[in-house]
Amino acid sequence: MNGVELRQLVYFDAVVRYGGFSRAAGALHVAQPAISAQVRRLEDELGVRLLARTTRRVGLTEAGELFLVRARRVLGELDAARDEAADLAAVLRGRVVLGASPVLAGLDLAAVLAAFAARHPGVHLTLRGGITAGLLADLDAGAVDLVLGPIHDEYRTRDRTATPLLDDELVLLTPPGHRRARSRSIALADLRDDPFVCLPPDSGLRQVLDDAADDAGFRAHVPFEVSTPGEVQALVAAGLGVALLAASTVTGSATVHRVRPALRHPPIGLLHRELSPAARALAAVLTDAASEVSERRAPSPG
């Protein structure tokens, strides 16, 4: 026995990831017999069957499930070590996963990422969208390097660094023909009997709405929950309800009103743990872009 080889771990992981030997061979550009032979040698070295082979599919045995976790951990550590070594080269290299909320206070994320990619072509950049609370779970699990989104007080922990970048005003949207359509400003309490369209309960915006309504003496009725500010505006335009949104996310011809008294959206910023050199470079680009946005923010309603 010569011990477990790295390529055996790579081949084993690929067979599981792609659902079979032939697909793994195609993805890795390796002959299928070579993959089959190496996986078999791995099993012989371990003295246990890792894969349950049938004529139609390849599945994991109980031992295979346990070994897969360890194998992927080893491969992940190797990738991390490779990235760290590459970061020391003259050309910045590495991998960065950015988690981004749909509420970005007017920041043109596409333009920022394009500029970063042009400046650092050696960095493999991945974008993952979602609600900030879910992205923070990914951050804590190590699946995301940076989270860009609203920074609520409860998001600040001892293990996370929070850097506010931009502020944003909250505004009210009413549908066509609404009784308050001509009002420049509306007290939230005046909409206590209206249905609201909002993001899901675990979103920061929903928390702001619930807290503001509670302060105004009522509980917001939210029969319509959607995933993005754009969907919120579409449902309001269709006459299905009113909405509270960050001013920077409002587009088109929506009827917009100031909230009385004024409400501020939690600051938009970066949340992260320890950063690699590549992730620090992305954070710097985002910070610079936010500074530019602060000078040309979308105008307030009215």
Least confident of 65-69, 131-135, 292-296: 292-296
Tens of pLDDT along 151-199? 888 888 888 999 998 887 889 999 988 999 899 999 999 999 999 999 8
Chain mean position to CA 81? 24
What's the mean pLDDT in 195-224? 91
CATH of the domain at 31: 1.10.10.10
pLDDT at position 267 is 86
Give dist(CA 289, CA 294) in Å, integer.
9
- The answer to whether residues 288 and 141 belong to one domain is yes
Q: Are residues 98 and 146 in the same domain?
A: yes
Does the pLDDT of residue 263 top 80, yes or no? yes
Angle at 62 between CA 60 and CA 68, to 5 degrees: 60
Indicate whether 143 pLDDT > 50.
yes
What pLDDT shows up at residue 248? 78
With 0-12 / 13-18 / 19 or more C-beta atoms within 10 angstroms meaning exposed / middle / buried, residue 291 is: exposed
Q: Give yes or no: residues 143 and 279 share one domain.
A: yes
- Give a yes or no: residue 302 inside a domain: no
Mean pLDDT of the chain: 87
CB 128 within 8 A of CB 135: yes
Distance, first Cα to last Cα, the chain: 78
Residues 276 and 161 in one domain: yes
Residue 243 contacts residue 173 (beta carbons within 8 Å): yes
CATH of the domain at 142: 3.40.190.10
The per-residue pLDDT for 4 is 86
241 plus 108 within the same structural domain = no
Which residues are bridge partners to 295 per DSSP?
none
What is the per-residue pLDDT across 26-59, written as a single tens digit (0 to 9) for each? 888 888 898 999 999 999 999 999 998 876 778 8
In a domain, residue 19? The reply is yes
Q: Residue 109: its pLDDT value, please?
A: 87
Which of the residue ranges 102-116, 149-163, 215-229 has the most confident prediction, judged by mean pLDDT? Answer: 215-229
Whether residue 24 is found in the same domain as residue 11: yes
DSSP state of 8: H
Of the listed ranges 138-152, 203-217, 250-264, the one predicted with least confidence: 250-264
Query: What is the total count of domains within the chain?
Result: 3
Judged by average pLDDT, the poorest of 6-15, 37-46, 262-271 is 262-271
pLDDT of res. 297: 52
pLDDT at residue 12, as a whole number: 92
Domain contains 105: yes
Q: Considering the domain boundaries, does residue 298 fall inside one?
A: no
DSSP-assigned states of every residue in 123-174? EEEEEEE--HHHHHHHHHHTS-SEEEEE--GGG--TT-EEEEEEEEEEEEEE
Do 108 and 59 share a structural domain?
Answer: no
What share of the chain in percent tops pLDDT 90? 46
Q: What does the pLDDT read at residue 19?
A: 87
DSSP symbol at 218: S
pLDDT at 215: 92
The answer to whether residue 174 is domain-embedded is yes
| 107 located within any domain | yes
Let me know the angle formed at the C-alpha of 185 by 103 and 164, rounded to the nearest 5 degrees.
Answer: 30
| Residue bearing the bigger pLDDT, 38 or 301 | 38
**What domain range is 275 assigned to?**
94-166+266-293
Q: Are 135 and 106 in contact (CB under 8 A)?
A: no
Please state which of the ranges 10-19, 54-63, 107-116, 254-263 shows the lowest mean pLDDT.
54-63
